[in-house]
């Protein structure tokens, strides 16, 4: 039996969580770590601080000290660091996201999208890039549709339901929920883009240097959460958390896990490890989209794996 440290002193940890992600699958690792007691076991009093706005606001929250650590998409981390932010990724939360381009029932194919409104994620993000790549692969260019920025899968699903968007990219399980309700699946972004690092936990380097113990505890708890999510014996428990936190049906929650893990599509890290090749790919997307200028910066500039590496040996 594995033995875990018992911490006499409880520490507070404020985690920046985007409003746009709180009801999506991308909050799953945090929910599992909290609900299954992995933070408590590490002596962490974990508190999510909801933050509105785009990915840049997550890094702003670190800078002003309103949170200690934060969830953030890699594109925004890279952009803000290049602009001088003292931020760094300490572990991966999600790799290789699978976004489904889901359309209203009257849209039968990609050609039917011409002249219609497409609800995209933030224009500078990797989801928008991947969605445009999917559209382009099927002959739909930026001048063929009307793009509308709608941040977060739950908000884009609402846009589709209200008829304000003809099609939207949705993460899980909302894409499966929409399809259950009669929406049409046109394609998935993982068909056209290579593997990339999507979201990470980030922290200010200066804060990290003086809070090593806190980050060691956090990375241990997250490693345990990823192990729990991947454990076949816990499939029903994880599906129940997905259903409860996203509002999806139990069937859609189970289908989400099957999509990720049967077979393993490397959407979820095994313990929070950061794939530098995946980060390099995300940086390449940003350069191609004109968000940043080349030559590409080295991926290692944006990561610090010391804390996760140290927990692997314990």
CATH number of residue 91's parent domain? 3.40.190.10
Radius of gyration of the chain (CA): 19
In a domain, 73, yes or no: yes
Same domain, 270 and 200: yes
Of 191, 221, 248, the one marking the end of a domain is 191
Contacts of 78 by beta carbon, 8 Å cutoff, 6+ apart: 282, 283, 286, 292, 297, 302
- Judge whether residue 56 has pLDDT over 70: yes
The pLDDT of 171-191, averaged and rounded, is 94
- 160 touches 104 (CB < 8 A): yes
**Order of strands, sheet of 117-120, starting from the edge strand that comes earlier in the sequence:** 146-149, 117-120, 167-170, 100-103, 184-188
In a domain, 5, yes or no: no
Of 191, 206, 222, the one marking the end of a domain is 191
- pLDDT-based confidence at 41, cuts 50/70/90? very high
- CB burial of 161-192 (b: ≥16 within 10 Å; e: otherwise) equals eeeebbbbbbbbbbbbbbbeeebbebbbbbeb
Query: Which residue shows structure tokens 């549709």?
Result: 145
Same domain, 219 and 290: yes
- Say what the pLDDT of residue 105 is: 96
Same domain, 269 and 150: no
CA distance 92 to 106: 38
- Say what the pLDDT of residue 4 is: 52
Tokens of 184: 């049409």
- pLDDT-based confidence at 312, cuts 50/70/90? confident
Same domain, 32 and 148: no
Kindly report each contact of residues 290-298 with a partner whose C-beta sits within 8 Å and lies 24 or more positions away, as own/partner.
Answer: 291/75, 291/79, 291/124, 292/78, 292/79, 292/82, 297/78, 297/82
Same domain, 169 and 304: no
CA distance 178 to 185: 9
- 95 touches 197 (CB < 8 A): yes
In a domain, 6, yes or no: no
Inter-axis angle of helices 55-64 and 74-82, nearest 10: 60
Task: Report the SS3 class of residue 17.
Answer: strand
The pLDDT of 242-251, averaged and rounded, is 94
Answer whether 0.85 is exceeded by the pTM: yes
In a domain, 31, yes or no: yes
**Could you give the number of structural domains in the chain?**
2
Residue 17: domain span: 11-96+195-312
- Say what the pLDDT of residue 122 is: 79
Burial class (CB in 10 A: 0-12, 13-18, 19+), 278: buried
Of 131, 165, 191, the one marking the end of a domain is 191
- Say what the pLDDT of residue 2 is: 46
Same domain, 90 and 104: no
- Judge whether residue 291 has pLDDT over 70: yes
Same domain, 87 and 200: yes
- 26 touches 156 (CB < 8 A): no
CA distance 7 to 24: 32
Same domain, 215 and 305: yes
Task: Report the SS3 class of residue 107.
Answer: coil
Same domain, 271 and 214: yes
In a domain, 2, yes or no: no
Same domain, 205 and 299: yes
């Amino acid at each position: 039996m594995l033995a875990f440290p018992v911490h006499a002193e409880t520490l507070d940890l404020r985690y920046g969580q985007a409003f746009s992600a709180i009801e999506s699958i991308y909050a799953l690792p945090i929910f599992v770590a909290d609900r299954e007691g992995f933070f408590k076991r590490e002596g962490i009093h974990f508190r999510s601080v909801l933050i509105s706005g785009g990915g840049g606001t997550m890094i702003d929250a670190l800078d002003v000290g309103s949170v200690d650590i934060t969830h953030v998409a890699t594109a925004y981390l890279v952009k803000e660091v290049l602009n001088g932010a003292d931020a760094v990724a300490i572990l991966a939360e999600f790799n290789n996201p699978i976004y489904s381009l889901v359309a209203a029932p009257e849209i039968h194919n990609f050609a039917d999208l011409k002249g219609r409104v497409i609800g995209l994620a933030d224009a500078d993000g990797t989801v928008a890039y991947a969605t445009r790549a999917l559209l382009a692969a099927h002959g739909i260019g930026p001048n063929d549709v009307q793009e509308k920025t709608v941040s977060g899968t739950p908000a884009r699903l609402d846009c589709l339901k209200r008829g304000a968007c003809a099609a939207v990219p949705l993460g899980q399980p909302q894409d499966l929920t929409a399809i259950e309700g009669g929406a049409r699946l046109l394609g998935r972004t993982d068909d056209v883009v290579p593997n990339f690092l999507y979201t990470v936990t980030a922290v200010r380097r200066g804060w990290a240097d003086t809070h090593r113990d806190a980050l060691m505890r956090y990375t241990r708890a997250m490693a345990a959460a990823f192990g729990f999510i991947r454990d076949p014996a816990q499939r029903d428990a994880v599906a129940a958390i997905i259903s409860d936190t996203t509002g999806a049906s139990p069937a859609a929650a189970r289908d989400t896990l099957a999509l990720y893990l049967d077979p393993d599509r490397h959407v979820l890290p095994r313990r929070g490890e950061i794939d530098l090749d995946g980060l390099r790919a995300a940086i390449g997307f940003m350069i191609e989209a004109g968000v940043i200028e080349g030559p590409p910066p080295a991926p290692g500039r944006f990561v610090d794996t010391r804390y996760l590496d140290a927990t692997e040996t314990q």
